[in-house]
Amino acid sequence: MDAEVIVIGGGPAGAAAAFHLAARGRAVLLLEREPAGRGKPCGGGMAASVQRWFPFDLSPAVEQVIRRVRFSWCLEDPVVAELPGDAPFWIVRRARLDAFLAEQAVAAGGRLLQPLAAERLERQQGLWRVGLSDGEMLTSRAVVIADGSGSRLAGAHGLGPARPRYAATVSVEVEGEVAEPDTARFEFGLVHHGFCWAFPRQGGWSIGVGTFIGQQEADSEAVLSALLPSLGLPGDAGVRHRGQLRVWDGHHPLHGSGEAGTGLLVAGDAASLCDPFLAEGLRPSLLSGCRAAEALDLWLAGDEGAPAAYSQRLRSEWGESMAWGRRIAQVFYRLPKVGYQLGIKRPTAPRRIAQILSGEMGYGDIAQRAIRRLLFQKS
């Protein structure tokens, strides 16, 4: 056997799982298809509260600390919210975050195989067999599938939704001077069924457009040619990257069942955990990576119920909030102007939004009141 656990995918979910398994003394192998240092289309916005899941300091991956968020409707009617605490919301550069977490996994005793892709995953004679792009085969007792939004392995093994739901995204990195480097911007009126964001990073911006309802992508060129000049940038600046982001769409088992699914867990985007309202995917990826490692460590020590407890724990720690997030998204993005006026412009909204973004509060805490307000338009 090559490892106790093979983790497929070295993004935040997989690297977090590999680190926590290695830190518990488990023989873990982390497979990453792409070469080190590759960037990913991602705003990089992340609640600083994720630090509590790691014993090492995450600040080497942090580019900017956000202290304020600015919301607008068609670039006007702004709402500004101060975020509570010292450093509640971070902007990370993805290439750095992913590589840093993988380095920590290796420092804790894990093995990283990169660039190397898992092409097949089969269960044979009580072990998992992972067929690699170089023709080799690896074996292990357990597997974490963490191969991201494009995952083929999760569905093939009956994990997560049978038909995942996707948000359409366009992201663009732009170099330039940032007037307010501690302010993240969210613009709601320009995008049909979605929003755009502009997050400051070192020496520029990470900008994106996301559409959350329906299959139709936003007219991102029109959106960007309005948004970029509002930041003092040329309307055609930067290179556009289009993508599909799996978003949360109901509670589903995140562990395999029966002999065919023994010791198999799915984490991160492959598990469809990303927030369907604000596209927050880093926090649930890190959370699920940590929880998957805890569960497999227990399972390897003989606790047969640990994989099912993993699905249940993700449901209570994340999924229950996302169920409300999805309902809010469906109402908000269908009636965005009403949502902006009655939701975001409420006097208490800046504080609530700040609490959501800093991870202090879940959607469930605010949802019942918000939906009642949006549906019945009571202030």
Ligand X SMILES: Cc1cc2nc3c(=O)[nH]c(=O)nc-3n(C[C@H](O)[C@H](O)[C@H](O)COP(=O)(O)OP(=O)(O)OC[C@H]3O[C@@H](n4cnc5c(N)ncnc54)[C@H](O)[C@@H]3O)c2cc1C
Interface with ligand X (CB under 6 A): 8-14, 31-34, 40-46, 117-118, 146-149, 169, 171, 208, 243, 245, 268-270, 274, 279-283, 285
Question: Closest Cα partner for 117 from 99, 130, 133?
Answer: 133
Spatial CB neighbours of 37, under 8 Å, sequence gap ≥ 6 = 95, 99
Per the CB < 8 A criterion, the answer to whether 237 and 125 are in contact is no
CB atoms within 10 A of CB 235: 13
Query: What is the closest distance, in whole angstroms, from the C-beta atom of residue 144 to ligand X in the complex?
Result: 10
For residues 77 and 317, which CB has a smaller minimum distance to ligand X in the complex? 317
Question: Closest Cα partner for 200 from 221, 225, 223, 175?
Answer: 175
Query: What is the closest distance, in whole angstroms, from the C-beta atom of residue 37 to ligand X in the complex?
Result: 11
For residues 102 and 233, which CB has a smaller minimum distance to ligand X in the complex? 102
**123: helix, coil or strand?**
strand
Query: What is the closest distance, in whole angstroms, from the C-beta atom of residue 378 to ligand X in the complex?
Result: 32
Query: What is the closest distance, in whole angstroms, from the C-beta atom of residue 305 to ligand X in the complex?
Result: 25
For residues 101 and 349, which CB has a smaller minimum distance to ligand X in the complex? 101
Query: What is the closest distance, in whole angstroms, from the C-beta atom of residue 302 to ligand X in the complex?
Result: 29
Question: Closest Cα partner for 30 from 39, 40, 44, 20?
Answer: 20
For residues 14 and 256, which CB has a smaller minimum distance to ligand X in the complex? 14
Please calculate the CA angle 261-266-268 and round it to the nearest 5 degrees.
175
Query: What is the closest distance, in whole angstroms, from the C-beta atom of residue 157 to ligand X in the complex?
Result: 13
- How far apart CA 8 and CA 111 sit, in angstroms, is 12
For residues 228 and 245, which CB has a smaller minimum distance to ligand X in the complex? 245
HSE, CB side, 13 Å, CA atoms: give it for residue 93.
16
For residues 267 and 374, which CB has a smaller minimum distance to ligand X in the complex? 267
